[in-house]
Amino acid sequence: MSRSSTIALPRVPLALKARRTWIAAIAVALTAQGAAAQGAGGDAKIITAHGFSDLGALVYGPDFEHLAYVNPDAPKGGEMSTWARGTFDSMNPYTRKGRAHGFSVLPYERIMTNTDDDAYGSYCLLCETLEYPESQDWVIFNLRPEATFSDGTPLTAEDVAFTFRLFLEQGLPSFSSAVKALIPEVEVLGPHRVKFHFAPDVPRKGLIGQAGATIVFQKKWFEETGARLDESRLTQSPGSGPYMIDEVEVNRRISVKRNPDYWGADLPINRGRWNFDTMRVEFFADTNAALEGFKAGAYTFRQESSSLTWATQYDFPAIEKGHIVKEELPDGSLPQATGFIFNLRKEKFQDPLVRRALGLMFNFTWTNDTLQYGLFAQRASFWENSELEARGMPEGRELELLQGVADMLDPAVLSDPVPVPDAGGKRQLDRGNLRAAADLLEQAGWIAGDDGMRRKDGRVLSLEFLQNNPSFDRIILPYIDNLKRLGVDAKYNRIDDAQYTLRERDGDFDMIYDGYTNGLEEGLGIGQRFGCADAKNSVFNPASYCDPAVDKLIDEVVKAESLEDMQAAVRAIDRIMRHAYFVVPVWYNPTYWVAYYDQFAYPDTLPPYALGALDFWWYDADKAAQLRAAGAL
């Protein structure tokens, strides 16, 4: 999915976000309907359920009527349109080739799905129920017989097995190699019954969720067309989801239309959702052109990410007349761990002293106050504002886990409080930080010469900051200036989207602005982001970070049997990685900045983990008519 998207698409499965304490207090069993039955391997108890959670109880029982945060009576109709910056040249998001947009995943569904108010649960979507033994050595999904693809053909267990094997054969190496070691076999037991076998010597935590997250393609289409998962293409197979691709104009727009015969429209998990008849994304070369397009009515919903634009450019007549609503909505999700990322493949960044020195030259306070209108908070943790964030000195279970890998750690991890990023000062160049950074570089052997440039073994300390978004110019250029004052040969190179995508994927950069999408429930996926096995080729680990101590603690996360043990292990990992300082942490926003033509509505109470504009908002036909009568549309 392109990072240039400016609206949060419904994530399937949802990136697990924040957690509310009341979830743990719900006195509901795992929602298993608890049937004891004869298993394939003997008399083991087989659990039959409508959903699954590794940790804690599910929010929704088997007989829920609709999600708590939707309007079950929301009208259907109208169009939601938004924008994206940049370009696209593919409608296949599952390949390293080409640049696809998030709309390309909308036609497809997974066996199970997540909700925006349950941090740990997943619920049957394509399946009616799942079955598994207490040992969780396997899971069987009983598919809904009414499930069909958009061309009317049934979705069967053969399609599930085909898709899973297709991802193992042609999917991203970082995905296929990891999953193949965990789920070696998928077995078709009947037209609507499919079994995932788990490897015997791997922890069980996360495996059912991994199997349930399997997306399902139509086997027939792939066999008839010869299409591959690892190719860039504009054609798509029929999906089973509520929307179908309607129009694709490369680098201009993508539109989808609601499938009038969508098989799952009346499912409880879908009531009050997927309300728009059509959804459209318009592409613009830059944010200024996009804003002008919004003012002119080229699209009708805008989620803003630029503090400059939000603070200074939303004062045009349509807002003053009330035709466009400008508001801030609460965002309770776990912020993405964004920042300026060092490429640890490069020898010059192997020394943490160098990384800390370069990081001290980013002045958050001056940047936020001067360039961002004081609208952001500074991020410190990879799991900011959650029970997974390391704080102060390690203690309790977290301390025990760190002591278990103490021989692999810098002693400061155990003896010092967890590092917090330096806030900087009111001037662009904080001279105290400049002196501290110079001292760190001298300790690392990078000595300033007569020309002021830092050298080690005759080599100048150089740094290229790669970017493709002009909105970052005003943020990064002062950082580059500060680095030059330190004696670093720093350059800012803004390139086009296609070049940027290629160079990022190939690891051909020194520093970039990027991030890690973490979750409130961590399991097997944490290894793809921070583990050593995939560090060199994982698209989820832009820094190529690897630490044997973190690898051992990842094992503790995966095998954790309680919420508390999982949280303690993640806090230990957070502490180690913050000491390693391979990301210069920047900012996060605890609210959504949105502006939209006053023809949309949303529930009175938004869920904690999503804005949901494409998911559970709806079109108000009466308000739209008023806008048209006023000439606003």
Q: pLDDT tens digits, residue range 343-401?
A: 999 999 999 999 999 999 999 999 999 999 999 999 999 999 899 999 999 999 999 99
Is pLDDT above 60 for 42?
no
Q: How confident is the model at residue 299 (pLDDT cuts 50, 70, 90)?
A: very high
Is 627 inside a domain boundary? no
Q: How confident is the model at residue 201 (pLDDT cuts 50, 70, 90)?
A: confident
CA distances from 319 to 299, 416, 419 (A): 15, 51, 43
Q: Confirm if 587 and 377 have CB atoms less than 8 A apart.
A: yes
Determine the Cα–Cα distance for residues 598 and 535; give it in Å rounded to an integer: 46
Q: How confident is the model at residue 261 (pLDDT cuts 50, 70, 90)?
A: very high
Is pLDDT above 70 for 11?
no
Percent of the chain residues past pLDDT 90, beyond the cut = 82
Determine the Cα–Cα distance for residues 544 and 43; give it in Å rounded to an integer: 46
Is there a single domain that holds both residue 412 and residue 537?
yes
Determine the Cα–Cα distance for residues 505 and 542; give it in Å rounded to an integer: 8
Q: pLDDT, tens digit, for every residue of 223-243?
A: 999 999 999 999 999 999 999
pLDDT of residue 171: 87
Q: Which two tokens stand for residue 462?
A: 């150089």
Q: Calculate mean pLDDT across residues 581-610.
A: 96
Residue range(s) defining the domain that contains residue 33: 21-67+89-225
pLDDT of residue 32: 35
Reduced to 3 states, what is the DSSP secondary structure of residue 124?
strand
Q: pLDDT, tens digit, for every residue of 412-464?
A: 999 999 999 999 999 999 999 999 999 999 999 999 999 999 999 999 999 99
Residues paired with residue 455 on neighbouring β-strands, in sequence order? 447, 460
Residue labelled with tokens 């990078």? 446
Q: Calculate mean pLDDT across residues 555-564.
A: 91
Q: Which of 7-11, 42-46, 116-120, 444-448 has the highest mean pLDDT?
A: 444-448
Looking from the CA of 92 toward its CB, the CA atoms found within 13 Å total 21
CA dihedral for 77, 80, 81, 87, sign (positive or negative): negative
Q: pLDDT, tens digit, for every residue of 475-490?
A: 999 999 999 999 999 9
Q: How confident is the model at residue 537 (pLDDT cuts 50, 70, 90)?
A: confident
Name the strand (E) or helix (H) holding 219.
Answer: helix 219-225
Is 232 inside a domain boundary? no
Is 311 inside a domain boundary? no
ω before 13 within 30° of 0 (cis)? yes
Residue that is last in its domain, among 190, 225, 260: 225
Is there a single domain that holds both residue 220 and residue 341?
no
Q: Which of 167-176, 254-263, 528-537 has the highest mean pLDDT?
A: 254-263
Q: Which residues have a Cβ under 8 Å from the Cβ of 559 and sit 6 or more positions away?
A: 203, 205
Is there a single domain that holds both residue 403 and residue 536?
yes
Q: Confirm if 101 and 243 have CB atoms less than 8 A apart.
A: no
The CA angle 169-172-173, to the nearest 5 degrees, is: 80
Is there a single domain that holds both residue 220 and residue 343?
no
Is 49 inside a domain boundary? yes
Residue labelled with tokens 């509901």? 28
Determine the Cα–Cα distance for residues 86 and 497; give it in Å rounded to an integer: 6
Is pLDDT above 90 for 28?
no
Query: Length of the chain in residues, anyone?
Result: 633
Residue that is last in its domain, among 183, 204, 225: 225
Residue that is last in its domain, among 157, 191, 225: 225
Query: Which of 126-162 are b and which e, b meaning 16 or more Cβ less than 10 Å from the residue's Cβ?
Result: bbebbbbbeebbbbbbbbbeebbbbeeebbbbebbbb
Determine the Cα–Cα distance for residues 183 and 190; give it in Å rounded to an integer: 19
pLDDT of residue 43: 56
Listed residue (123, 24, 21) closest to 64, CA to CA: 123
Determine the Cα–Cα distance for residues 473 and 365; give it in Å rounded to an integer: 18
Q: How confident is the model at residue 4 (pLDDT cuts 50, 70, 90)?
A: very low
Is there a single domain that holds both residue 563 and residue 422?
yes
Is 74 inside a domain boundary? no
Is pLDDT above 70 for 10?
no
Listed range (39-48, 149-158, 252-261) with the worst mean pLDDT: 39-48
Percent of the chain residues past pLDDT 70, beyond the cut = 93
Q: Which two tokens stand for residue 41?
A: 């391997």
Reduced to 3 states, what is the DSSP secondary structure of residue 528?
helix
Determine the Cα–Cα distance for residues 100 and 496; give it in Å rounded to an integer: 15
Name the strand (E) or helix (H) holding 127.
Answer: strand 127-133
Residue labelled with tokens 């190699």? 177
Q: Calculate mean pLDDT across residues 494-499.
A: 93
Is pLDDT above 80 for 564?
yes
Determine the Cα–Cα distance for residues 300 and 309; give it in Å rounded to an integer: 17
Is 255 inside a domain boundary? no
Is 268 inside a domain boundary? no
Q: Which residues have a Cβ under 8 Å from the Cβ of 10 and sit 6 or more positions away?
A: 610, 612, 614, 615
Is 408 inside a domain boundary? yes
Reduced to 3 states, what is the DSSP secondary structure of residue 458?
coil
Is pLDDT above 80 for 25?
no
Query: Which CATH number is 584's domain given?
Result: 3.10.105.10
| Helices H / strands E in the chain, number of each | 19, 27
Q: Confirm if 37 and 124 have CB atoms less than 8 A apart.
A: no
Count of domains for the chain: 2
The CA angle 596-3-377, to the nearest 5 degrees, is: 70
Query: Which CATH number is 50's domain given?
Result: 3.40.190.10
CA distances from 613 to 294, 308, 488 (A): 16, 23, 44
Say which residue, 561 or 484, is predicted with more confidence.
Answer: 484
Say which residue, 413 or 8, is predicted with more confidence.
Answer: 413
Query: How would DSSP label each residue in 408-456?
Result: GS-THHHHSPPP------SSSS-HHHHHHHHHHHHHTT-EE-TTS-EEE
pTM assigned to the model? 0.81
pLDDT of residue 561: 85
Name the strand (E) or helix (H) holding 196.
Answer: strand 193-197
Is there a single domain that holds both residue 346 and residue 205?
no
Listed residue (147, 82, 102) closest to 300, CA to CA: 82
Q: Which residues have a Cβ under 8 Å from the Cβ of 451 and sit 6 or more positions away?
A: none
Reduced to 3 states, what is the DSSP secondary structure of residue 95?
coil
Is pLDDT above 80 for 17?
no
Mean pLDDT of the chain: 91
Q: Calculate mean pLDDT across residues 149-169.
A: 97
